[in-house]
Each structure stands twice: as structure tokens, then as C-alpha cells.
């Protein structure tokens, strides 16, 4: 075992740290005075905190008011934009309706002209068919009156009846009367007349 002298360490004396190294510590009165000044500063701290709290509350109220004003301004601005857009949409709608009406009138006019041209061409076709029909009837009548063979006469009469029925059906839609086949002489009379 080691002796007691080697185990015991010398006691250290506690000293206040100095502000700067190499400067001896300040006397106790001065230290107490510094502590009192610090405590006075700390005593004023709640008043400073209350002042800061009041300023924060005022700032919060001001920010709330400004945001409310800004919100109201935006609402008014957006309301104006919305009203303006509605007006423009109404104007575009009325322009679209006017264009549709104009297009409809133009199409109806063109369709009317097309109908008139088609009716005119149809009437021309019907006139041409009537002329051809009557020319055919005249030729058949002439053939029948000059024919000597009764079989030929019968065939011609059948053809005349079929053609006259078809022509009467086509031309009859127009409402114009056609010369009837009944005016043609019958085959026996035609043969007898010769």
C-alpha cells in the first residue's frame, strides 16, 4: 500500500473567473453590484415581454385587417372580371346565334334554288317524254292503219297498251291529260279498211 501522503491531494481554492485572463478577480462588493444590476435588468424583462406581446398582438390585428381588405379587394376584382366575362360570353352567344341564323337562311335559299332547278328540269323531262310518247302513238297509229298482217297489228297494240300505261303513269303524276290509246283504230277495223 502506498502511504497517505501520496493519496491526499491538495485542496483547490475556488475563485471567480476574471473577465480577461491575467486580470485579478474583482472584489466581492463589485461582484454583488454586478449581480444586482443583472437582477434589475431581469426585473424589467417582464415589462419588455409584455411590450413585445402587445406589439405582436397589434401586428396580428393589423395583418388580419390587411388580409381582410385584400380579400375584399380580390373578391371585388374577381366579381368585376366575372361580370365582364359573362358579358363577353353573352355577346359571343348572340353572335353565334346570328351566324347560325344567317347560315340557315343562306342554306334555305340555296335549297330553294336547287328545288326550283330540279322542278324545272323535271318539267322539261316530262315535256320531252310527252312529245316522244305522242310521236310514238302517231307512228303506231300510222303503222296500224297501213298494216296488212293481223298478227303484227296485235303485237303493236300490246306494245302500245304497255307503253301508254307506263307513259300515263309517269305523265299522270304531273296531272296533264294524255291522248288515250282508245282513239287508235282497233286491229280488225284497220285490216278491214284496207
Q: Return the biggest CA–CA distance within the chain.
A: 184
In a domain, 132, yes or no: yes
- Whole-number Å distance between alpha carbons of 103 and 100: 5
Identify which of 154, 130, 103, 92 has the alpha carbon closest to the alpha carbon of residue 122: 130
Q: What total of structural domains would you count in the chain?
A: 1
Residue pair 137/164 in contact by the 8 Å Cβ criterion: yes
The C-alpha atoms of residue 157 and residue 51 are separated, in whole angstroms, by: 129
Q: Is residue 107 part of a domain?
A: no
Residue 147 lies in a domain: yes
Under 8 Å between Cβ of 147 and 188:
no
List per-residue pLDDT tens for the chain, 194 residues long. 445 545 555 555 445 555 555 555 567 888 888 888 888 877 777 888 888 899 999 999 999 999 999 998 888 888 888 889 999 999 999 999 999 999 999 999 998 898 888 888 888 888 898 888 888 888 877 776 776 566 666 777 777 777 777 766 665 555 454 454 444 444 444 444 43
- Whether 14 is in a domain gets the answer no
Separation CA 5–CA 19 (nearest Å): 36
Query: Residue 135's domain spans which residues?
Result: 124-192
Amino acid at each position: 500500500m502506498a502511504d497517505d501522503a501520496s493519496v491526499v491531494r491538495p485542496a483547490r481554492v475556488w475563485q471567480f473567473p476574471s473577465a480577461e485572463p491575467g486580470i485579478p478577480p474583482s472584489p466581492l462588493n463589485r461582484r454583488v453590484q454586478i449581480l444586482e444590476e443583472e437582477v434589475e435588468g431581469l426585473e424589467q424583462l417582464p415589462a419588455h415581454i409584455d411590450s413585445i406581446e402587445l406589439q405582436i398582438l397589434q401586428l396580428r390585428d393589423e395583418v388580419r385587417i390587411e388580409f381582410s381588405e385584400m380579400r375584399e379587394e380580390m373578391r371585388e376584382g374577381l366579381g368585376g372580371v366575372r361580370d365582364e366575362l359573362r358579358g363577353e360570353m353573352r355577346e359571343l352567344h348572340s353572335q353565334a346565334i346570328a351566324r347560325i341564323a344567317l347560315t340557315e337562311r343562306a342554306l334555305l335559299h340555296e335549297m330553294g334554288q336547287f328545288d326550283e332547278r330540279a322542278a324545272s328540269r323535271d318539267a322539261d323531262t316530262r315535256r320531252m317524254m310527252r312529245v316522244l310518247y305522242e310521236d310514238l302513238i302517231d307512228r303506231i297509229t300510222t303503222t296500224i292503219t297501213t298494216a296488212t298482217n293481223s298478227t303484227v297489228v296485235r303485237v303493236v297494240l300490246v306494245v302500245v297498251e304497255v307503253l301508254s300505261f307506263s307513259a300515263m303513269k309517269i305523265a299522270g303524276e304531273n296531272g296533264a291529260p294524255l291522248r288515250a290509246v282508245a282513239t287508235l283504230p282497233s286491229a280488225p277495223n284497220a285490216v278491214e279498211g284496207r
